Amino acid sequence: MKEETNVNRMERQSLMDTANVLKIRLNTDYVLERVRIFLTGKIQYVLYDENSKPYTEEKQISDKKANDKGIQNILNYVENAINPQVVQGNFEKEMFYNYIDEFHIGLIQNLANNLYNWEISEDDYEPIIDTIMILVIPFISRLIDNEERSSYAQSLKSFEGSATHTGKEGLIR
């Protein structure tokens, strides 16, 4: 009975490890957070009070690049381009270049059309575009020739292959 419990626990751990790998591969939070920090000029810190209870505090580290409406619209545009569903796609190189080109042109047009509505300084126009593109291009390049999905499948196989089973002799790898 004890061996079965250990096996069940190891199988659950293997499933949790697989879920964690998937979560890491599909996570777009880092890119979106970098864009948010750049646009808002704010960093969030986790601090602890005298009772060790965590709370967050924001610190302004640079000027905002747009008003709140502009920041939210820009973040929405970026999030529509990079999200967990997009990461699971498969692009041939030409599709990748077309996607990046369309995203880039759309970002340029979106910012140009709303430059004054979103209170974007003309000096910040190009740096906003450049910063977003520097983050988006490597993220989307993971889709070229299905490399991201192939890499994920390889990770799953390695987890499955390292699962532990029981036999008459005890634990077998």
Asked whether 28 and 79 are in contact (CB, 8 A), the reply is yes
The pLDDT score that the predictor gives to residue 171 is 46
Selection from 103, 81, 86, 80 nearest residue 143 by Cα: 86
The pLDDT score that the predictor gives to residue 172 is 47
Selection from 160, 7, 161, 136 nearest residue 75 by Cα: 136
Domain hosting 151: range is 2-172
Buried b (16+ CB within 10 A) or exposed e, 125-157: eeebbebbeebbeebbebbeeeebbeebeebee
The pLDDT score that the predictor gives to residue 91 is 85
The pLDDT score that the predictor gives to residue 27 is 79
pTM of the full structure: 0.71
Handedness of CA 45, 35, 30, 138 (dihedral sign): negative
Structural domain total, the chain: 1
The pLDDT score that the predictor gives to residue 52 is 94
Spans of the chain below 70 pLDDT: 1-26, 87-88, 146-173
The pLDDT score that the predictor gives to residue 84 is 76
Phi, psi of 7 (to 5 degrees): -65, -45
The pLDDT score that the predictor gives to residue 170 is 47
- Residue at token pair 């599709």: 95
